Amino acid sequence: MKYAVVGLGAVGSIIARHLMETQDYVVLLGKNDHVDNIKKQGLIIDEKQYFNDTLKITNDYAKVSDVDVVFVCVKSQDTEPVAHLMQKHLKKNTLIISLQNGVHNAQILRDITKVKAISGVVLFNAVSSSPGVASLTMKGGLVLEFSNEHASSLSEIKNHFKSQGLDVRFVFDIEPVLWSKLIVNTQIAVTALTGQTIRQSMKNRDSRIIILATLREALSIVKQVKIPLRSLPGIDPKRIIRVLRFLGSFSALLSKVALGMKDDARNSMWQSLSQGKTTEIDYINGEIVRLADQKYLKAPVNTKLVELVKKTETRIFEKPFLPHDLRKILKL
């Protein structure tokens, strides 16, 4: 099969690397700085250079016209623009796989492109230090929505990634998994604001208190709205709450031993803020706030986190918040 990866940040780079290992036809589509750097130095993952003469590295979306599967790895706020750029070039039987945060991206891609788009959930963690350079900071696989229409393609994808050490699991109803992942992801606003690594936030008592409040509020809102949830290893909101509550700072050690989380593991929202870019806050914590507003419920913690992240995006706040100060602001 012929593949394309759209979006060459941390997740897109890891997916691209796995495809480059054995696939002869791979198109990498990204922003100019990513494209230029990868053309010059190859894709660098964990300090190892990956380059293939058959690769097509470009910002020309007409290059998706020959591909069978497109992995979309852009930020949620870029979904609509990217869908419009691809729309007139895609074959009718192309399969789009959204590996993005948020719960609505696949639907947006389907509506605009008029081709099959399915959702996926990423269970690994990766950090991109500069365009075309990334590192895997926590091992994990993928959860993909199964499509009978594209069963053979999905089977090939699973077998290929398995040969590269990336486990793929299929589910028929992925919406409950997406919502569980979204709840878990609400905590990334905390470390984005404090500038902590994920493990540092687990070790710090004030950060843990904020994260617990954020997760509990998000879980409560989703339950009150009666959205079904499905937990899988690594995306179980209730379990994460229990671990943080009862193990305290030892949860950082558990994450290192059980999940292989590296000390420098950080989240994508922190990466965006540190690079002066717009974050996905509207599609994560903002989604919880919208749900609460629709049902006349209150979500004070997530509402305030959205406000603080947006102010940080515009450089109203120049320095990271100390966890103790952030806890005071959130009145926790």
Domains and CATH numbers, the chain: 3-172 (3.40.50.720), 177-329 (1.10.1040.10)
Residue 25 backbone class (left: φ over 0; alpha: ψ -120 to 50; beta: rest): beta
Least confident of 55-64, 85-94, 104-113, 206-215: 55-64
Token readout for 137 is 């900071």
pLDDT score of 245 more than 70? yes
The pLDDT of 197-215, averaged and rounded, is 93
């709450």: which residue's tokens? 241
Report the C-alpha gap between 171 and 47 in whole angstroms.
34
Give the orientation angle of helix 79-87 with respect to helix 105-113, to 10 degrees: 30
Of the ranges 171-180, 239-248, 260-269, the best mean pLDDT one: 171-180
| % of residues, the chain, pLDDT over 90 | 66
What pLDDT does residue 67 have? 95
pLDDT score of 257 more than 50? no
Name every residue whose Cβ is closer than 8 Å to that of residue 35 and which is 6 or more positions away in sequence.
8, 28, 57, 58, 59
| pLDDT bracket for residue 253 (50, 70, 90) | low
pLDDT score of 116 more than 80? yes
Secondary structure (DSSP) of 226-263: T-----BTTB-HHHHHHHHHHHTTHHHHHHHHHH---T
Report the C-alpha gap between 84 and 78 in whole angstroms.
10
pLDDT in tens, 222-234: 999 999 999 887 7
**Cα torsion angle, 281, 260, 6, 53, sign:** positive
69-72/48-50 β-pairing: unpaired
Least confident of 31-40, 86-95, 177-186: 31-40
The pLDDT of 175-204, averaged and rounded, is 94
Q: Strand, helix or coil at 313?
A: helix
What pLDDT does residue 130 have? 86
Burial class (CB in 10 A: 0-12, 13-18, 19+), 258: exposed
Report the C-alpha gap between 324 and 332 in whole angstroms.
10
What pLDDT does residue 259 have? 60
Q: Strand, helix or coil at 145?
A: strand
Q: Walk across the sheet containing 69-72 and list its strands.
A: 56-58, 26-29, 3-6, 69-72, 95-98, 116-122, 142-145, 168-171
What pLDDT does residue 252 have? 62
pLDDT in tens, 130-160: 888 989 888 889 999 999 999 999 999 999 9
What pLDDT does residue 99 have? 97
Give yes or no for a contact between 127 and 263, defined as CB atoms under 8 angstroms apart. no
């509506």: which residue's tokens? 111
Point out which residues pair with 232 in neighbouring strands.
235
């394309």: which residue's tokens? 4
What pLDDT does residue 260 have? 65
Report the chain's mean pLDDT, rounded to a whole number.
Answer: 91
Give residue 227's identity as a one-letter amino acid code: I
| pLDDT bracket for residue 94 (50, 70, 90) | very high
Report the C-alpha gap between 60 and 279 in whole angstroms.
25
Least confident of 188-192, 266-270, 301-305: 266-270
